Structure 1
Amino acid sequence: MASVYDSPPSRLLQALSGMQRLQVELRSVQHQMSCREFVATSAGGAVVARVNGLIGLTDLRINRAAVSDAALSQEILSAIRKASTAATAAHSELLAPIHRELAELQRTALSLGV
């Protein structure tokens, strides 16, 4: 015999509760990421880029004596890309459990015909 907790209305309420929990977790991840900083260098440390967890450039330091004019733009882009890639990887790592739970909630909603 099926439990009252397995009925479609109960499962729908559980899914909605799960969605609310995910919203809280997403806000937490966003806050955590906004407080983090990722630093990367290029040109042997002559270019230093700092990016926050929301992938916003917060600082760029350049030792002009150590970088030629011809290489400057490439070295700047390289440092920013490295810092942004690190931020993106950290963001993905924090979001992985939320993605898994969201997929489970989606399966529940589909099984209920929602």
Structure 2
Amino acid sequence: MNWTPLENEAQLEKIRQESETHPVLLFKHSTRCSISSAALARLERKWDQSRLGTLKPYYLDLITFRSLSGRIAGDFSVQHQSPQVLLISRGKCVYHASHFDIGFEDLQQQVSSLES
């Protein structure tokens, strides 16, 4: 799978703009947490871009970019969790999940509902 690294606040505005034309996924990952590593590996094993249409995935190392993680929580009105996925569409978080609630099938269902 092709993650786009999320490393600075300027990218958040780009993500909002991108989400006007296609959904965007943010994966907030703690490189120090075994649960986060397991959730990431589980998602990557099942990842099938052809079932997600134009969804663009971004990856945030929240240990390295902790303040950016806080900004995401504030900007998209979600409580910070780790690991956490946020699905952004039309500039808003339309779905989020954390820990072992992160799953490819749920994500695919959410993306499909956006296209309906």
Q: TM-score range by the shorter chain?
A: under 0.3
Answer 1 or 2: higher relative contact order, Cα 8 Å, separation at least 6: 2
- Structure number with bigger Rg: 1
- Give the structure with the larger helix fraction: 1
Give TM-score scaled by structure 2 length: 0.20
TM-score, reference length from structure 1:
0.20
